[in-house]
Structure 1
Amino acid sequence: MRTPQLTDEERRLLKDYKANAPHKLVVKKAEALLLLSRDVAPEIVAEFVDREPSTLHDWVIDWHQQRMASLYTGHAGNLNRSFLTEGQREAVTVVLSQPPGDEYLPAQFWDVPKLDHWLSTTFNIEYASNSSYHFLLRMAGLSFHKPEKFDRRRADEKAIDLRVKEIREELTGPLAEENTLVFAADEVRIDQEAVVRKAWYKKNTKTVFKVDRKTASQSFIGFLNQNTGDCTTLRLDWQNSTTILEAVQMLVGLNPGKKIVIVWDNASWHKNKLIQAELASGQSLQDVHLINFPPYAPDHNPIEHVWNDAKNAISNVQRDVFDSTVAAFEAHIGSRVFDYKI
């Protein structure tokens, strides 16, 4: 068997495929070629990669004919069918690390149709199986996962960062004042169809579990104290101007004699005429100052982390009564201190 001769660059790439290739066949080929290039006996290499010596012989022949492209011969999805050269593969990796183009979404949203279009127009290459495209996407360091949601009306990131910086500077004084409390606030709603789908009971028997199958929901407003980390959670009958005003008035009542700063988003019920009139009246909200986060930037509101923590906690247990879910949500938040800051 002819010993495969490797350049330094080929050796580096084979080591990378050996460590990171998502398919076992590619890993085994890379391992075999590296070992054979060091004159390790073919019988030992064959045993190591769990292949017959004759298979190694074919791999070496393919290597001398196709070099790096030979790693994909026989690979699921038939990646070698269009014979991407190593230079083309490097170009693909570079391109996949960049936005697909002005007409597309950002780079992290590459998908098979976009990659297919780019390969066919650039290299006149088209694969028969999606797995070949998936392989290229993974080898370029991309992964298939759910993206975060951002509103199309969201402002430029630099403008958002500047506004958040201004808010932090504005809060420097109030946070240091003994008589002032600063809260990050927001609303949330939890929903549940109270159905138990599975339960632990004796094998080969049946059981009946009576539940309320009606869909239910409950809205809350939360005020995360930036001084202490405590979160005050109040139930809302609905999210509208009247209920939000009542919730702010209740927060004032829970903190008598304190000046209160609330930082929240730009929801209409946070800036409505009802609240503005109460602020101007100098009565129940005379010691309340409201600050708005940048529009459509909920990721900068620390109370979102509180909601996520609580939702994750209650999602692990299926309760047959929705009131129990609501109580568990409130209990989780009320029993903890959250170190989430603006």
Structure 2
Amino acid sequence: MKGYVWGKVGEKAQIPIVNDRERQTYYGALNCVSGRFHITPSKKGDSQETIHFIKYLQKEYPGIKLKLFWNGASYHDSEDIRNFLSEENKGLERKDWKVECIQFAPYAPEQNPTEDIWRCGKKFIRECWHLCKSFAKETVQIRLPKAEKDRLDLYCEKVGRTQTDLIREFIRSLPV
């Protein structure tokens, strides 16, 4: 960054730059069978928060084996995570593991469907920031009866659009 200011000759002027935005971290997982996306706010992205999120998923899907596909974040392969997974899967053959974690290829966000969800969320915030009091405090959740969900899925497939695109289009069409 370059600019000009008034000051004494020969003295370096310092201009403090304040970043008023709060950092927000979220953990997310897409259930590839049901299409349900789980998202939880977190203090930060680290091993302990990752373990907390895995435990949350285990509570959401009790008795179900979890296969987690994830990116190459350093804490995904930390000693804490390896110890947690070893304890969870202790004494079980690999085919019976309660939690299995599979890493996507390095630098391959196109393999990860969650990246599209994050991208859409960020785009929505950039375009509609004035509608959001705080992304951390508000979420929109729509519950549909199975017949309506199936009908929406068929329509999306037929027209080649996502549910998110259709909902956004509907919202934009509302009179203000």
What TM bracket, shorter-length normalisation?
0.5 to 0.7
Distance 2:108 2:85 in 1: 25
Determine if the alignment matches structure 1 residue 326 to structure 2 residue 147: no
Distance 1:271 1:323, change over 3 A: farther
Shift of 1:279: 1.1
How far apart are 1:299 and its partner, in Å? 1.9
Percent identity between matched residues is: 25
User: Which residue of 77, 90, 110 maps to 1:299?
Assistant: 110
Amino acid at match of 1:225: N
* Kept after mapping to 1: 8 A contact 2:41/2:136: no
Deviation at 1:269, TM superposition (A): 1.0
Quickly say closer, same or farther: Cα 1:261–1:325, change in 2 above 3 A: same
Aligned partner of residue 291 in structure 1, secondary structure: strand
Q: How many pairs are equivalent?
A: 123
Q: CA RMSD in A?
A: 2.9
What CA distance in whole angstroms lies between the structure 2 residues aligned with 1:282 and 1:236? 22
Q: What does residue 104 of structure 1 align with? A: none
Give the secondary-structure state (helix, strand or coil) at the position aligned to 2:107: coil
User: Out of 35, 40, 44, which is 1:234 matched to?
Assistant: 40
In 1, Cα distance between the equivalents of 2:88 and 2:22?
38
Code of the residue aligned with 1:292 in structure 2: it is Q
Matched residues in 2 for 1:282 and 1:303: separation?
25
Aligned amino acid, residue 296 of structure 1: Y
CA contact (8 A) 2:26 2:41 kept: yes
1:261 aligns with 2:71: no
Find the residue that maps to 1:217 and give its secondary structure: coil
Residue 239 of structure 1: CA displacement? 0.7
Q: Tell me the TM-score normalized by structure 2.
A: 0.61
3-state SS of paired residue (2:55): helix
Give unmatched runs, 5+ long, in structure 2. Answer: 1-17, 91-96, 144-152, 154-161, 164-176
1:224 aligns with 2:30: yes
Instruction: Give the number of the structure whose residues are more often helix, by fraction.
Output: 1
Aligned to 1:287: 98
Q: 1:256 to 1:299 in 2, by over 3 A?
A: same
Name the counterpart of 1:276. Answer: 82
Q: Contact between 2:70 and 2:112, CA under 8 Å: does it hold in 1?
A: yes
Give the superposition deviation at 1:316.
Answer: 2.1
Where structure 1 has 5 or more consecutive residues not aligned to the other structure, the ranges are: 1-192, 194-212
Q: Aligned equivalents of 2:133 and 2:27: distance in 1?
A: 17
State the TM-score, normalizing by the size of structure 1: 0.33
